[in-house]
Chains A and B, each alone.
Chain A
Amino acid sequence: MPGNTFASITNLTMKPESAAWRALHDHASTQLRGGFADRALRAARGPADETWRAFFSLGARNVRPGFAERVLRAARAATDIPSLASHFALSAATAVVCLSAVFFLHQRNVDAADARNLAEWQQLVQAADDPDSNML
C-alpha cells in the first residue's frame, strides 16, 4: 500500500514531534464517521428542495379527512370574535358613561349645595332686613 510505503520511508527520517503530529492526525481522522464529506456538503448547502418538500408534506399528513367540512361548520358556528379596535371602543364607551355619571352626580350635589346656601343667605338677608328678628 502506498500509505504504508510512505509511512515506512518517513518513519526512518521522521523527528519524534512529527510522529506525534501524525499520531494526532490519525486519531483525529478516526473520529470522523463514514459519509463525513456528504454531511459536510449538505450542511454547507442547507436543506435541499426535496427535503423542504418532504417536510411540508409531513405537515400536510396531519390534516385528517373531512377537514374542509369541519372548517365550514366551525366558521358557521363561530361567533364574531371581538377585535382589538372593538375592545378599545367598548372601553372608551364605558369610560364615557362612567365619567358622565360622575359628572352628573357631582353637578347635582353642587346644585343642591348652592340651593341650600342660597336659601340660608336669603334667610340671613331677610333677618338682617327685619330689625325685630332675633336671628343675628
Chain B
Amino acid sequence: MESTSTTALADLVRRAQKGEESAQRELIISYQHRVAGFVYAMTGRSDYVEDLAQQVFIKMVRAIDRLQAPAQFESWLFRLARNTCIDQLRRQKLRRIFLPFGEEHENIPEPPGAVDSEELDALRHALAQLRPQDRALLALVQEGRSHAEIAETLNTSVAAVKARLHRAREHLREHYQPDHEA
C-alpha cells in the first residue's frame, strides 16, 4: 500500500519536473496543509504562515527539476520549508538588531489565548523558547521524517540527530506547562 503511494508520488513528481502544471498544482494541494503546520510550528505566528508557505512552494516549483531522486520529494520539500523558515527568523532577528523601532509588529508574539486551548498555547510558548534549529528538529519528527532523513537534511549523523532530539525534547518539556501564565 505504502509502496503504491510512494510510486504514485514519484510519478507525480516526475510529471511536475517536466513542467506539467496540473502535477505541480496537485503537489501543492497535497502538501499545503502539512507545510503550513510546519511553518506555524517554526514561527509561532499565524500571520506568517501563508506567506512563508507560499515562498516554500514557489521555491519548490522553480527547483523541482533539479531534484535528483523523486522518491525523496518529501524530505526535500521539508528541507526547503525548514531553510525558508530559518532564513526568515534570521532576517527578523537582524531587523530587530538594526531597526529596533521599525516594523514593531514583528517583535510582538501572538497574544496568549490567540490559539484554541491551553495546551496549544503552552506548546506554542514552549516552542518559542527553543532555538529555531531545535524547533525544526521536533517539527520534522512530528512530520514523520525518520532520523536518517533528518540526518541527511541537516548533513549530520543519525547519532547526532538522536542526541540533539533528546536535548530538544528535554528543553521542550522544561518549558511546556499547559497552565503557564505568559
Contact = CB atoms under 8 A, between A and B. Distances in A.
A42 B39 CA distance: 25
A67 B46 contact: no
Nearest to B56: A71
B179 A59 contact: no
B58 A71 contact: yes
Interface in A19-71: 33, 39, 42-47, 49, 51-52, 54-64, 67-71
Interface residues of A, number: 31
A71 B54 contact: yes
B21 interface: yes
Interface in B110-154: 115-117, 119-120, 122-124, 126, 142
Given A54-B116, A72-B24, A46 B169 contact: yes
A57 B33 CA distance: 7
Question: Chain A's interface: helix, strand, loop or mixed, by majority?
Answer: helix
A1 interface: no
A61 to B, nearest CB: 8
B178 A43 contact: yes
Interface string A63-90: 1100111111011001000000000000
A67 B62 contact: no
Most buried by A among B37, B47, B49, B116: B37
A72 B61 contact: yes
B172 interface: yes
B76 to A, nearest CB: 17
Contacts of A54: 116-117, 119-120
Given A47-B176, A63-B49, A67-B32, A57 B62 contact: no
A15 to B, nearest CB: 37
Interface in B41-69: 41, 46-47, 49-50, 53-54, 57-58, 61-62
Interface of A: 33, 39, 42-47, 49, 51-52, 54-64, 67-72, 74-75, 78
- Closest 5 A/B residue pairs (Cβ): A59-B40, A56-B37, A60-B33, A62-B49, A68-B28
